[in-house]
Structure 1
Amino acid sequence: MRIVTVGDNCMDVYQASGKAYPGGNPVNVAVYLTELGAEAAYIGWVGTDIYGDIMIQAIQEKGVNTSRVSKKTGKTAVTQVEMVDNDRKFGDYDEGVMAHFSLTPEEINFAGNYQLVHSGIWGHADKYFPEFKQKGLITSFDFSDQLNDDLVQTLPPHVDYPFFSYTQDDDYIRGLLMEVKQRGAQIAVATLGENGSLAYDGERFYTYGVGEVDVVDTMGAGDSFIAGFIYGRLKGLSIEACLELGAATAAKTIGYFGAW
């Protein structure tokens, strides 16, 4: 099972402690997939600062292929994080060198050697998804909580597994998943925080709850869910089993500080 993730990375800096943890949706998904047993690579840019070195080393130590991580003159992306009752609140985000991220033809060809490619709403990789699909790649994309972004309208024809972050199972999110499916997605999925998850395949909705777990830090919960779901689909599991695997993967993540 071979997966490549593309786009944003950032150092999550916790204001209270000053500690910094590597993160970013594509990075996190690659790390979680590796922990599940997949072969994963990450394509992205870091700066020429100490955070860039920390990012590359941390990803490598998790077993992710970093041969296509490029150092660019400037700063690695940083997100300020504040903890409020064990839930993380994002503050200022400095995109650093990732603001100008693009892929070379060689990197696009490199991605074509994998089964599935994943990116997210802040990854600056959405414009390459039509090409990924033309190369025969399975595609997944995290829209996060940006449910009104223009990409929700334009990208689903090129995304097999779109993921959304929402709060509850209601008519609004069900309607959105139905629309996204009709635009071309295979299975549209929403994570609902403490209310579990929801998926739609064009015929019916599937729901799954969350288990009892002591929450230390919710950082990375959605990304680990995505990794579990993707892993399950590539293994040929049912949608229900993929939702269950996503929830189990997320439950482990929220038991410690940082995304991983």
Structure 2
Amino acid sequence: MLRLAAVGDNCMDVYDQTGEAYPGGNPVNVAVYFTRIGGRASYIGAVGTDRYAGLLTRALEKKKIDLSHIQVLKGSTAVTHVSLVNGERVLGEYEEGVLPRFRLTEEDIRFICSHDMMVTGLWGMVEQDLGRIRAQGVPVAFDFADKPRGPVLEAAVGNVDYAFFGLDCSGGPELEAFLREIQARGPKVVTATLGEKGSLAYDGRRFVSCGIVPCRVVDTMGAGDSYIAGFLKGILEGRPLEDCMRQGAECSSETLKYSGAW
């Protein structure tokens, strides 16, 4: 069975209007969704010593995520404050908690390299380790979120195989030029998810577009992470790029139907 190592940040998504709290965070979500569609996943990151740490780890264990390399650091688990406006999640204050102290150990890196692929993201704190992991033959996927520029991109992009961006634009020549630029710096494929406009990918030879899978939207939290999980499973299965994007869209559609990331 295909194994994905999801590395980096986590958080509790706290909905201030209702008082509800859901576990989440980019690599955490991707791990859960990857498992949901038939793969196996490990999460490597750090939680605090507060009640949210227990809520998050118990929830992940129920989803069959391997937590053998999670770090427990004294302090608070990260929290993202969230509001819902017409079904769209609006992110408020973010409390990092213990995450700035998270660093991979040598044992963590060996463990990651036992997987078929690694995925991390903008707040993962591991961009400095990607070269070592990729040198062991492990493909690296990276979610740059909505940050097409910045120091993390500069540090990471040359050691990434599959780069993802969540952009608020309608596509066109400017987006195509951006995808060309990023792909030329190292990734095999660069993909931009565009909300209800679908997604656009570039593999160095051609642009491929994919529409959405229509559904009744309850909450957009985790939609982009779902897309990444479906896409990466398709890549690991050796599917054509079009099929990977379609599987990403289908996975995203399922997540849009309920409250919270998962």
The corresponding residue for 2:124 is: 123
2:27 is the alignment partner of 1:36: no
**Cα distance, 1:147 vs structure 2:** 1.0
Residue 68 of structure 1 aligns to a residue whose secondary structure is coil
Can you give the 5+ residue segments of structure 1 that lack an aligned partner in the other structure? none
The corresponding residue for 2:15 is: 14
Query: What is the alpha-carbon distance in structure 2 between the residues aligned to residue 174 and residue 132 of structure 1?
Result: 29
Residue 59 of structure 1 aligns to a residue whose secondary structure is helix
Residue 155 of structure 1 aligns to a residue whose secondary structure is helix
The corresponding residue for 1:192 is: 194
Residues 188-221 of structure 1, C-alpha deviation per residue, up to 9 Å, x if partnerless? 0010001000000011100011122100000000
1:1-260 alignment, distance < 5 Å: 1-167=2-168, 168-260=170-262
User: Would the aligned equivalents of 2:189 and 2:201 in 1 still touch at CA under 8 Å?
Assistant: yes
User: Would the aligned equivalents of 1:216 and 1:254 in 2 still touch at CA under 8 Å?
Assistant: yes
Residue 37 of structure 1 aligns to a residue whose secondary structure is coil
Query: What is the alpha-carbon distance in structure 2 between the residues aligned to residue 150 and residue 179 of structure 1?
Result: 16
AA of the residue aligned to 1:92: E
User: Would the aligned equivalents of 1:253 and 1:259 in 2 still touch at CA under 8 Å?
Assistant: yes
**Cα distance, 1:176 vs structure 2:** 1.3
User: Would the aligned equivalents of 1:166 and 1:173 in 2 still touch at CA under 8 Å?
Assistant: no
Residue 70 of structure 2 aligns to a residue whose secondary structure is strand
User: Would the aligned equivalents of 2:127 and 2:155 in 1 still touch at CA under 8 Å?
Assistant: no
Task: Give RMSD over aligned pairs.
Answer: 0.8
Can you give the 5+ residue segments of structure 2 that lack an aligned partner in the other structure? none
AA of the residue aligned to 2:105: T
Query: What is the alpha-carbon distance in structure 1 between the residues aligned to residue 165 and residue 3 of structure 2?
Result: 23
Residues 105-148 of structure 1, C-alpha deviation per residue, up to 9 Å, x if partnerless? 11111111111000000111111101111111011000000112
Residue 67 of structure 1 aligns to a residue whose secondary structure is coil
- TM-score for the superposition, normalised by structure 1: 0.98
User: Would the aligned equivalents of 2:217 and 2:256 in 1 still touch at CA under 8 Å?
Assistant: yes
**Cα distance, 1:70 vs structure 2:** 1.5
Name the count of aligned residue pairs.
Answer: 260
